[in-house]
Structure 1
């Protein structure tokens, strides 16, 4: 059984942990984690990462790695490019862990993906089509996604408030909860006017403070994505799904998928417009004994969220060649 070390914020090492004695989860990030230069070091240093990204380019028939490595950011942020880029980065990390460290997916007790991260198998073509469908769903008007920092224990208050006022929005304006990331953070998705209006009322009630716009090109996980949902349903119906090797937690239900392929397709389709239940997924994992969380993919966004929500957990974020070399040295 392989060894993992938790990475401390300051000195990059803490206690030794083994997946033989502790429950562990494999975690994959979603949109917002992208950055210029993502996975370039992995592509250079590891043949398995190079082969995977080159294969994705061949499947998609466009120069994905040029966008990942060199940008520009505006092009990378287009969801039809962001989604396959993040998927490739995440799976490249996983492939390196498998080939260089002997890590197997079956060593983990469960897997979680945040939004896009839920598509963590060989699905780059499907993810590209998902991104294009989402981008094409927005035909007019200004849209946004905005993360809100919740003040105090007001998660349920905010959800109830949005249900109360959503019918008061002017025709065509939308503001819905796209992500419940933690007890202290949610993401609103919809039209600029709708989100600003709801945000202002939440602030007036004293339920939330700072709000930050997210670097995305469409308002994901809200009713504005219904057109994308309709486009994706027949594509998902044509896709063969194998039974999960380990339990995979659904964003929609925060529960493991069954082994029924039709349920997997249905929930992945629902996920396009439904709220991502990340907070419940993580809290249920903690209740079920998950202590080690291994985050595979770009940036530290998701691992930092896990650290704030679950400070006693062992959270290992693996994004770069540097991260992988640190693990090698510590072992």
Structure 2
């Protein structure tokens, strides 16, 4: 059994951590830390949804509890480094929501402190375990598409009312997920082309993201926009033997009147991926690809193994730094309203 403490009690905790931790018999959420000002502003009624968890406004209660092995930080990015440093200095492993840190320099400082203490500091890149991305990985690893020529990954909304001057945040808040998915599969890119801007207020926001990653002969494009009205595939893949498309698997519904529950039932067949390819004998195949099930708890299982059994971290420091470099460069481009190529 591994006891953990969570810092924060917002959307990420309620909908992307606790529902999946509830299924893990080897992980116990002992504490949730909330600042007093957050309890006053947001209320405390929803703390009763989890009667077995101790809610506290005293961070030292967590840091001084020797039973707590892992501290999970689910706060705004500008407080990640401070909380992570405090936890590491008190001999706790840390799992930090993405983006891991505001800058590469600060991320490296946290990683160096963790290494000096013999502890793990890791980014919570849980979206590697989205059902649609796991389905994509299954197809890529099958080899049926041959050499991959192009992948497109979309994370779009139709929310033009959201766009305001000075409203930067799509790169760090949304695109970070899909950028990490690409990096987790292909590694460090050979080159990157950026088109990150605001359609409405050039240099004042980042509501349009179109980034091309090059890995040898393969190009992977991450697109994110607030101006997409019609749904299109989450993933589109073309290889020299065929093509694959998959629409989004979506996410669990929030429950405003109680704790979020998630389904682990297989996705309906009408949203399975579509695969068309020609095999080595020249025979054409058209298949539906059953969707994998979204389970963000898998990341916790892998982290548990790394902590308890000296296993490999499921998200490496190098991957975190690679993603942060893309975010930093992309934001700089959005602010300058220019297109550049760098890595």
Larger proportion of strand? 2
Structure of greater Rg: 2
Larger proportion of helix? 1
Q: Same fold (TM over 0.5)?
A: no
* Higher RCO by CA contacts (8 Å cutoff, separation 6 or greater): 1
Class of the TM-score when normalised by the shorter of the 2 chains: under 0.3
